[in-house]
Amino acid sequence: MAKYQFFCIPNSDRKQYTFLDMSSSTFLREKTAILDQGFEVEDDVIYADTPEEAVEKFKSNFIYAVDEYGKTNPSYGFAVFFQSLYKMIFTKKVNNK
């Protein structure tokens, strides 16, 4: 699975974007050139089998992919459980005062 880094023009609502395959031998040179053109790094790295899949994930704001990844990791489930428990306890304490 390849890693892709996406870049956007600021304040373009992610409509003006480009991306690079991070395994490319020219990645650092290309990244410098893109940043020099006014693009900024957008979000985190996207893992995908094809460039088309990476663009699809980017356009979906990557929420689905991150959620699916999190669901496969048991520590994610524990973190969500404790976060929910904390919110429930904290909310009760605040509402009871």
**What residue segments make up the domains of the chain, in order of their start?**
2-96
Q: Which residue, among 47, 36, 45, 42, has the nearest Cα to 14 in the 3D structure? A: 42
Do the beta carbons of residue 42 and residue 17 sit within 8 Å? yes
Cα(52)–Cα(49) distance, integer angstroms: 8
Q: Which residue, among 8, 31, 3, 27, has the nearest Cα to 18 in the 3D structure? A: 8
Stated pTM of the model: 0.62
71-93 residue pLDDT tens: 777 777 777 777 778 777 876 65
What local confidence, expressed as pLDDT, does residue 82 receive?
78
